[in-house]
Chains A and B, each alone.
Chain A
Amino acid sequence: MDRYGMQNQIACIRRSLFDQGYLDEQFIQLEELQDDANPNFVQEIVTLFYTDSTRLIQNIELTLTSRPTNFSKLDDYMHQFKGSSSSIGAKKVTSECAVFRQYCAAGNAEACIRSFQHIKQEHAILRKKLEFYFQMMGQAAVAQTT
C-alpha cells in the first residue's frame, strides 16, 4: 500500500475507534499532548495502562474468589481501574467499571462477577484494536522516511 493509502487507512481506523465508542475525547487530549519532546506519548501512556490494569485484573480476580466477598476492596481496585481507563479515554471499559461499582455498592457478588467478565472482554478488545492502530502508525512512519 502506498503512503497515502496508509494514511487514509489509519485515519479510518482512528475514526472508527471513536465512532464505535471505544475511545472518547480524553484520547484526543493525549494526542494533543504528544509533541517532539514526547513523540510516543500516547503509546507510552496506553502501554502503562495495560501494564497497570493487568495487575489490577489479577487482584480483582483473586478478591472475587474469596468468601465472604470483600466489596470494599473490590471497589477500591475498581476505583483505580476506572480512573486509569478514563485517563486514557477508554470509554467502554470505563462505563463497564462504573456498572461494576454499582453492583459492588449493592453487595451483589454474582452481578459483580458477570460485570467483570464484560470488563475483561472490553479491555482485551480495546488492547487489540490499539495495538493494531499503533502498528499501522509505526509502519506509516517507516514508509514516510523511505
Chain B
Amino acid sequence: MVMAASETKFHVLAVDDTLIDRKLIEKLLKTSSYQVTAVDSGTKALEFLGLNNNDHHDVEVNLIITDYCMPGMTGYDLLRKIKESSSFKDIPVVTMSSDNIPSRINRCLEDGAEEFFLKPVQLSDVNKLRPHLMKRRTQTNVNKRKSMDEIVSPDRARARYNELEVK
C-alpha cells in the first residue's frame, strides 16, 4: 500500500554552529510545517545521518540545510561528504552564509547544493525548499510504485497512470 505524499511531514536537518541562527532556522522551518532536527556541527550532522541508516529506518532526513562557515568541518566539507556518500547523496542540500562571496556560492551550487541562501534567512527563502522536497518524494513514490507493480503484476502492458512526474 502506498502512502499519500502529503501524509508525513518532511524532516529537515539544520546545521549551524551559532545558537541564534540555529534557533532562527528551526523556527522558520517549524513555521513552514517541517519537522526539524538542529545540530551545531557537520560532524554531529553526519553522526545523526549515520545513526539513522544503521538503526532507524523509519526516521529519514529529507533535506539538509547547513551554514557555510563553521569551525572544523565547513558547510562545504559537509556538502561534499554527503554528495560523495552512496547512502546520502540523494538528499538535497542547501547552504547558507552571511557573506556574499560569488565564488563561494558558485562552488557550492556546482558541487551539488540545490540553493544558497544569504543570511539572515527569511521565510521567503524557506519557501524555496518545498519544490526540492516534493521532487524527491514524487521520485521516491514513482520508484516504489514501479517495484510494487512488478511484484503484484508482471504484465507490463498495463497502463501506468501513476507514473506522473511533477516538474
Q: Which residues of A contact B (CB under 8 A)?
A: 26, 29-30, 32-33, 35, 37-38, 41, 44-45, 48-49, 52, 79-80, 82-84, 86-89
**Contact B31 A83, beta carbon cutoff 8 Å:** no
Question: For the complex, would chain B's binding face be called helix, strand, loop or mixed by DSSP majority?
Answer: helix
**Contact A87 B119, beta carbon cutoff 8 Å:** yes
On whether A83 and B28 interact (CB within 8 A), knowing A48-B19, A49-B20, the answer reads no
Q: How far is the CB of B159 from chain A (nearest CB, A)?
A: 46
Q: Which residues of B contact A (CB under 8 A)?
A: 18-21, 23-24, 27-28, 30-31, 69, 98-99, 119-120, 122-123
In the complex, chain B residues whose CB is within 8 Å of the CB of A88: 20
Q: How far is the CB of A86 from chain B (nearest CB, A)?
A: 6
| Contact among A35, A48, A52, A87 with B31 in the assembled complex (CB-CB below 8 Å) | A35
**Contact A87 B123, beta carbon cutoff 8 Å:** no
| Contact among B24, B31, B119 with A45 in the assembled complex (CB-CB below 8 Å) | B24
| Contact among A30, A38, A48, A83 with B119 in the assembled complex (CB-CB below 8 Å) | A83
Question: For the complex, would chain A's binding face be called helix, strand, loop or mixed by DSSP majority?
Answer: helix
In the bound complex, how far is the Cα of B120 from the Cα of A48, in angstroms? Answer: 16
In the complex, chain B residues whose CB is within 8 Å of the CB of A48: 19-20, 23
On whether A86 and B120 interact (CB within 8 A), knowing A45-B23, A48-B19, A48-B20, the answer reads yes
B69's nearest neighbour on chain A, judged by CB, is A79
On whether A41 and B21 interact (CB within 8 A), knowing A29-B120, A83-B98, the answer reads no
On whether A84 and B18 interact (CB within 8 A), knowing A33-B31, A79-B98, the answer reads yes
On whether A86 and B98 interact (CB within 8 A), knowing A35-B31, A52-B20, the answer reads yes
On whether A45 and B28 interact (CB within 8 A), knowing A29-B122, A86-B98, A87-B119, the answer reads no
A24's nearest neighbour on chain B, judged by CB, is B120
B99's nearest neighbour on chain A, judged by CB, is A79
In the bound complex, how far is the Cα of B96 from the Cα of A62, in angstroms? Answer: 30
Q: A33-B31, A87-B21 are in contact. List 17 more A-B contacts (CB 8 A).
A: A26-B122, A29-B122, A33-B24, A33-B27, A33-B28, A38-B27, A45-B24, A48-B20, A52-B19, A80-B18, A83-B18, A83-B119, A84-B18, A86-B119, A87-B18, A87-B120, A88-B20
27 contacts between A and B (CB under 8 A): A26-B120, A26-B122, A29-B122, A30-B24, A32-B123, A33-B24, A33-B27, A33-B28, A33-B123, A35-B31, A37-B30, A44-B23, A45-B20, A48-B20, A48-B23, A49-B20, A52-B19, A79-B69, A80-B18, A82-B98, A83-B18, A83-B21, A83-B119, A84-B21, A87-B119, A88-B20, A89-B120
